[in-house]
Amino acid sequence: MAFSTWNHNYSVGVRSLDEQHIGLFETLNELHDAASNGAALNRTAPLLRKLVNHTQDHFVAEETMMAAVKYPGLAAHREQHRALSEEVQKFVSRFESGENTLSLFQLNSLRDWLAIHIMNEDFEYSPWLAKHGVH
């Protein structure tokens, strides 16, 4: 059973963003599987980096779309992205230096943040993008 599953309820109505969200859920599942099975650092660390890279790429794509249609909530949305990125980057640095381990609590927090962010924050821009022809 998957740790976290994207479903149509998470759709923001923009195919490329939905596909990126699906990819984030899939990477979280890979990371959860590796951590749950006691995978070595050489397996877990690259997956954690993959999640960070996918997240950064997604944030850039999302913010670029919002900027293109002059979404009025862009600054606040960008700040949420920045705050999460900073928090995750600190965790990754501590993890890679051996100061921290990857716990189920942390994975649950990431999964919950992703789901809540999509359902609350991303759903706010969805009508604006649709109104401006972004699908």
Residue found under tokens 């959860």: 32
CATH homologous superfamily for the domain 12-131: Hemerythrin-like (1.20.120.50)
- Say what the pLDDT of residue 40 is: 66
Q: pTM to 2 decimals?
A: 0.90
Angstrom distance (rounded) from CA 72 to CA 75: 8
Angstrom distance (rounded) from CA 86 to CA 10: 24
Give pLDDT tens digits along the chain (135 positions): 789 999 999 999 999 999 999 999 999 999 888 888 876 667 788 888 898 999 999 999 999 999 999 999 999 999 999 998 888 888 788 778 877 777 788 888 889 989 999 999 999 999 999 999 999
Own/partner long-range contacts of 70-73 (Cβ < 8 Å, ≥24 apart): 71/125, 71/128, 71/129, 72/128, 73/124, 73/125, 73/128
105, containing H or E segment: helix 104-116
Provide the CB-side half-sphere exposure for 116 (13 A, CA).
8
Q: Would you tell me how many other CB atoms lie within 10 Å of the CB of residue 14?
A: 20
- Say what the pLDDT of residue 99 is: 72
- Say what the pLDDT of residue 48 is: 87
